[in-house]
Structure formats: C-alpha cells, structure tokens
Structure 1
C-alpha cells in the first residue's frame, strides 16, 4: 500500500524590503477611501451640473471620475501587494475619508470650488503617504502616491480655472 504524500505548503508572502507594510497600507486605505468618495461626488456633480458652464464641467468631471475609478483599483491592488486587505464595506470607506457629501445642490461654480477643495485635501493626504512610504522603504508606493498627487493638484487647478474671472 502506498504511503500518502506529504503536502508541503510554502509561504506565499513577498518580501520586497518594505519595513512596515501595515503603516503604508493604512495610508493607502485612507487615500483609497477619499478617492472612492470623490469619484462618486464628482459623478453626481457631472450628472447634475446646469448653466453656462455645463458642457465644460460635464466633460471635465467625466474625465476626472473615470481616472479616479481606475486609480481606486490601483490603490487597492497596491494594498494587496503589501499583504494587507482592501476595504470591504462602504462604512470602511466613509469612516476613513475626509471627503464629505454635499447636502444641497450647489451651483456650477460652487461644484467646481467644492471639488477643487476635495482634490486639494487628497493631494495633502498623498504628500503624507509619500513621506510614510519613504520612511518605510517603499518606493513603489512613493511613485504611485506622487503620480496620484499630481493628478489631484492638476484637477484642482483646472476646476478653479473654470470659475476664476
């Protein structure tokens, strides 16, 4: 009678030299939560914008929410690459985000101002993440956060440019 084979399972963890992956993932989770909430807010403003700036804001916000939706996936996948879990509930997203919903229907100009402020908030959070990632020897997250910060800073500028006169 043949002896059963012993199954040896190897660790599937990847050691890339990141010192404290959980600290980096926490920062990524906050930025992911902000990105997800701002994606929805931008999409809602896209649907509801009215007035002479309709076409400009409608088109600009479409490009922005599409970019942020893709970025949310990239941020979550980076968390997973670090061996951490991505958020599993909207409650996690809401509790980890500094982005707030609008209780009223703002004017087109107010929409631009609100979104610009939110993009700026996320850029600040990304600057903090860049610092954390650097301290934890994680150049991949540093690069990701730098690129995302550049997007949010440009988005804030473009939104403000629409209403500055």
Structure 2
C-alpha cells in the first residue's frame, strides 16, 4: 500500500484517530447497552421503549461503521474487540437488567457522554484542519444531543 498523503501530518492523524477510537468505543458500548435494553425492557412503556430502543441501536450500528472507517481513512487501525472497547470507553457497562425508567436514565447519560467525547474529538480534528472528521463528529454530536433530549422527554412526569 502506498504512503498516505491527505494533507494531515502523521502526528495529527494519530491524535485525531485516538479520539475517534474513544468515540467508537463509547458508541459501541452504547449500542450494546441499547440493544440489551431493547430485548429486556418490560412494563407499561414496553412497546414505546422497545421500538425507540430499536431505532437507536440501528442508528448506532451504522455510526460505529462510519467512525471505524474514518479511523482507517486516517491510516490507523480501528479497535474491534470487547476488550479494546472496554479499555477505551468512558461509558460504564450495565451488568443488570434495570427497570424501564432506569434504562431511560442510563441511556440518556450514555448519549450525553458520547456528546462530551465528540466535543473532545472535535477540538483535535479542528486543530488538525481535518474537516472530514469535523463533519462526521459534528453530525454524531447532533444525533446524540437529540436522542438524549428525546429520552429525557420520555421520562418527564
């Protein structure tokens, strides 16, 4: 394979890719959590939450692919194991099956954490003049902000 020459130096590409790895790990962890809750939600809000969680995990499944491919575009290997994701993610794994209301709270916090991770990656991408990563991360941030809002609205009494 030929050497990469996209106008971003190696050090900046690696710094941006490191942030994207954290974003990938957070997104994948949130995907797994959302899928788990989709399968296991119960109670009066079952149908609404079951369908909402399905929309969310399907969107996240596409997102993790986009993020991993951006890492590869920067000529850096993308993480792809549970172990790597666990080490990189700032989202705590949920090992129990909480009540539906708690699921909504946990997922809200997860989406908000992804927004914070996006903000960190955005700074590195802007500093590197990496507009492709800026666009990807800005779009991801918008999706997660909106999803967190929708989840918060679901839990309002």
Mapped to 2, the partners of 1:106 and 1:68 lie a distance apart of 21
3-state DSSP of counterpart to 1:105: coil
Between Structure 1 and Structure 2, which shows a larger proportion of helix residues?
2
- 2:62 equivalent to 1:70: yes
2:105 equivalent in structure 1: 113
Aligned CA RMSD, in angstroms, stands at 1.1
Give structure 1 regions of 4+ aligned residues with deviation exceeding 4 angstroms: none
2:124 equivalent in structure 1: 132
Unaligned runs of at least 5 residues, structure 1: 1-10
Q: After superposition, give the CA deviation of every residue in 1:70-124 in whole Å (9 maximum; x if it has no partner).
A: 1111101001100000014221111000111223221111100100001000101
TM-score (norm 1): 0.90
Contact map agreement 1:13 1:83 (CA 8 A) in 2: no
Deviation at 1:38, TM superposition (A): 0.7
Count residues with an aligned counterpart: 155
User: Counterparts in 2 of 1:1-165, with a 5 A limit?
Assistant: 12-19=2-9, 20-165=12-157
Mapped to 2, the partners of 1:12 and 1:138 lie a distance apart of 21
Unaligned runs of at least 5 residues, structure 2: none
Mapped to 2, the partners of 1:140 and 1:32 lie a distance apart of 16
TM-score (norm 2): 0.95
> Who wins on radius of gyration, i.e. which is larger?
1
